[in-house]
Amino acid sequence: MSVDHEEFADGEAPAEKVTDVSGTGVPVRGNDIDTDQIIPARFMKVVTFDGLGQFSFFDQRFDDEDNEKDHPFNDDRYRDANVLVVNANFGCGSSREHAPQALMRWGIDAVVGESFAEIFAGNCLALGIPTVTASAEEIGRLQSHVEEHPDAEIEIDVENEEIRYADRVVDADVNEAQRKALVEGVWDTTALMAANREAVEEVARSLPYVPDEHVPGERGSGDDAGDEA
């Protein structure tokens, strides 16, 4: 299956099962690629995520005169790639969801790497984008393979935690909660958590620092509730 994320744009309720992603790869080499590099702060002066795709890795892709620089995202061979292959600690730094949003709108459906920063991986999950890890050696081999065979099909099997390309089957890791969420199609946490409203209010009431009138279910129902709400 090749994932189509378009329908998830800005708030559509995603509940699709993402068991695997297939397509071609684009390698972006280097450790510690932070979210400021994935999308520079100046492109975040927007009130929607629409149109962010074009700004992916912007300062790595263009010089001061807007001439294209040497970067995989500028390389025609990878123009239609949907599997991003990266190295260690990818997505560190700022919590900006603009980073995975930009990559998704560029056309990225899955990211494979040595390791990911946690907030970045969480933000990807919220968009239904798997972040799959494998050893440094395997990632290096995959990057080289993609560079040599940009048209080669890569299959990211989220359910079975494998990456398959050419004749290779690579043992990969998918965080267990992410795997369940994607494979079972339960990654819309808003819907999941909204279903537990009463339990939430019970916890809120049990906390000494939360005044009763701050708990929605209490408003207007108790003797002294509702006045301040």
Select from 144, 194, 221, 222 the one that contacts another protein (CB under 8 A).
194
State the nearest-atom distance from the C-beta of 94 to another protein, in Å. Answer: 5
Tokens at 127, concatenated:
């968009």
Q: Is 54 an interacting residue with respect to another protein (CB under 8 A)?
A: no
Instruction: Give the CA count within 13 Å in the CB-facing half-sphere of 25.
Output: 29
- From the list 7-15, 70-78, 148-156, 166-174, the region that binds another protein by CB under 8 A is 7-15
State the nearest-atom distance from the C-beta of 64 to another protein, in Å. Answer: 8
- From CA 87, how far away is CA 144, in angstroms rounded? 12
Q: What residue type is assigned to position 196 of the chain? A: N
Report the site for another protein in 140-159 (rule: CB under 8 A). none
Report the site for another protein in 12-51 (rule: CB under 8 A). 12-13, 30-32, 34, 36-37, 40-42, 44-49
147 or 155: CB nearest another protein: 147
State the nearest-atom distance from the C-beta of 112 to another protein, in Å. Answer: 17
Tokens at 163, concatenated:
């990456």
Cβ-contact 14, 76 below 8 angstroms: no
- From CA 132, how far away is CA 181, in angstroms rounded? 14
Q: Is 70 an interacting residue with respect to another protein (CB under 8 A)?
A: no
Applying CB under 8 A, what is the total number of residues that bind another protein?
71
For 209, which DSSP code? T
Backbone angles phi, psi at 140, to 5 degrees: -60, -40
Report the site for another protein in 161-190 (rule: CB under 8 A). 175-178, 180-181, 184, 186-187, 189-190
- From CA 173, how far away is CA 163, in angstroms rounded? 10
Report the site for another protein in 71-110 (rule: CB under 8 A). 88-89, 92-98, 100-101
Select from 86, 104, 126, 129 the one that contacts another protein (CB under 8 A).
126
Q: Positive or negative CA dihedral for 192, 194, 199, 202?
A: positive
